[in-house]
């Protein structure tokens, strides 16, 4: 059988390529008007999109800059209002509010800023001014709208608004409606929001609910809420201790495996309490180190690992013991200081922001407030 000439194969491929190119040019020639219009539309559409995007970015930048100015103006007015002690001082301090109130209204009514997240924030601050000035119904109207229409780019507005609705009803001495607002706040499910911050406002709402019960002379209901807060904080502390213990158990198991003492880590696994299990591993490692020092010393690398582990273990164990001791003595400020050193927990502090590596961490301020009122309502 004769072999086919490879040159003929190349000629066939070249002929097919030439035919394809000629067909493509023929199609373009026959539909040149349509192709030209299509290219023009794509180019025009791209240009329009780029122009629209640049315009939106400019609007956002302008809105952000203007809102920052309004926030500074609002903060000055609010400080003057809150620091006023006499009625004539209050009247005088309302003048800055009058100015910023109009500026905020002009901002959120400006169509150029309508699609930015700053509009709802401006409306919230405007409603807060109405609240300060005693215009509770006007304030409530805005807060309700903000709470019911949660914007995807600003979900926390709903939480703030329900909190403000509760405050408004407290001022109106309608404690039933205030409790309803705080309960709605607690039931919110806001994806993408820091869970520690949500827990902070959730616990704050619980404190307000308890206070509302007190105003209705339902002291037992109030006491139950305060107790719930305290029990939740205690559970969270235990959870934090468990997590920290497990973290150190994992480190100690690696060292025990390197020391060829797997039976020690196996024995620790039989202990149900994670903190006791950690202490068991810690004790085994320390005993091994002491014995090796007597017999002639440890390898330099493993000695360094043990030193680092023992430093972490001592910080955790010693600070935890001090925290528990101070808590038993009701010296809560000191107790929380050592809990923070042992576990890294201090909840969410509005003045300092996130203060914890644990999402479930308690807030010291909430705990101390709940404890004070729980004891007070127990003795009354």
DSSP letter for each residue of 160-225 = HHHHHHHHHHHHTT-HHHHHHHHHHHHH---TTS-HHHHHHHHHHHHHHHHHHHHHTT-HHHHHHH
Structure confidence at residue 22 (pLDDT): 52
Quote the tokens at residue 338: 């050592």
- Is the distance from CB of 210 to CB of 364 less than 8 angstroms? no
Q: Where are the alpha helices (DSSP H) in the chain?
A: 6-30, 32-83, 87-108, 118-132, 136-148, 156-171, 175-187, 195-215, 219-258, 262-269, 274-295, 300-328, 332-343, 364-379
- Say if residue 135's pLDDT is above 60: yes
Q: How confident is the model at residue 2 (pLDDT cuts 50, 70, 90)?
A: very low
CA torsion sign for 88, 90, 92, 98 is negative
Residue 40 has pLDDT above 80, yes or no: no
Long-range contacts of 151-154 (CB under 8 A, 24+ apart): 151/117, 151/120, 153/117, 154/117, 154/120, 154/121
pTM of the predicted model as reported, rounded to 2 decimal places: 0.72
Segment 179-195 mean pLDDT: 83
Flag the least confident range among 24-28, 192-196, 219-223, 322-326: 24-28
pLDDT at 248: 92
pLDDT in tens, 147-179: 988 766 677 888 899 999 999 999 999 999 999
- Give the per-residue pLDDT at 343: 82
Average pLDDT (303-332) is: 92
Domains of the chain: 38-228 (1.25.40.10), 232-379 (no CATH)
Q: Which residue has the higher pLDDT, 50 or 106?
A: 106
Whether the per-residue pLDDT at 47 is higher than 60: the answer is no
Whether the per-residue pLDDT at 96 is higher than 80: the answer is no
Three-state DSSP class for residue 353 = strand
d(CA 81, CA 341): 39
What region, left, alpha or beta, does residue 330 occupy, with left being phi > 0 and alpha being psi -120 to 50 degrees?
left
| CA 11 distance to own-chain centroid | 69
Query: In the prediction, which pLDDT does 330 show?
Result: 86
Cβ-based neighbours of 103, under 8 Å, separated by 6 or more: 70, 73
* Burial class (CB within 10 angstroms; exposed 0-12, middle 13-18, buried 19+) of 157: buried
């Amino acid at each position: 059988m004769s072999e086919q000439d490879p040159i003929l194969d190349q000629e066939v491929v070249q002929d097919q390529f030439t035919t394809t190119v000629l067909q493509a040019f023929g199609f373009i020639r026959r539909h040149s008007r349509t192709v030209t219009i299509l290219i023009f539309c794509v180019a025009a559409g791209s240009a329009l999109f780029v122009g629209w995007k640049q315009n939106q970015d400019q609007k956002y930048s302008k809105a952000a800059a203007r809102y920052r100015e309004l926030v500074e103006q609002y903060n000055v007015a609010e400080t003057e209002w809150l620091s006023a002690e006499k009625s004539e001082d209050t009247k005088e301090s309302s003048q800055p509010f009058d100015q910023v109130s109009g500026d905020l209204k002009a901002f959120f009514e400006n169509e150029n800023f309508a699609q930015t997240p700053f509009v709802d924030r401006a409306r919230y601050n405007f409603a807060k001014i109405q609240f300060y000035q005693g215009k509770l119904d006007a304030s409530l109207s805005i807060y309700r709208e903000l709470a019911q229409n949660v914007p995807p780019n600003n979900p926390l507005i709903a939480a703030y608004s329900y909190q403000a609705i509760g405050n408004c009803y407290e001022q109106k001495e309608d404690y039933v409606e205030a409790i309803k607002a705080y309960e709605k706040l607690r039931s919110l499910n806001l994806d993408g929001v820091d869970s520690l911050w949500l827990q902070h406002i959730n616990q704050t709402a619980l404190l307000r609910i308890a206070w509302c019960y007190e105003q209705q002379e339902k002291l037992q209901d109030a006491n139950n809420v305060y107790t719930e807060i305290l029990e939740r904080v205690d559970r969270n502390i235990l959870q934090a201790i468990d997590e920290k213990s497990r973290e150190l158990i994992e480190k100690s198991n690696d060292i025990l495996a390197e020391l060829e003492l797997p039976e020690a880590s196996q024995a620790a696994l039989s202990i149900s309490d994670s903190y006791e299990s950690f202490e068991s591993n810690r004790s085994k490692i320390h005993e091994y180190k002491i014995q090796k020092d007597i017999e002639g010393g440890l390898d330099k690398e493993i000695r360094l690992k043990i030193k680092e582990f023992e430093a972490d273990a001592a910080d955790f164990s010693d600070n935890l013991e001090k925290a528990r001791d101070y808590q038993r003595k009701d010296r809560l400020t000191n107790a929380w200081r050592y809990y923070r050193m042992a576990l890294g927990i201090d909840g969410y502090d509005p003045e300092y922001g996130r203060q914890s590596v644990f999402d479930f961490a308690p807030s010291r301020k909430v705990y101390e407030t709940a404890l004070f009122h729980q004891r007070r309502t127990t003795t009354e």
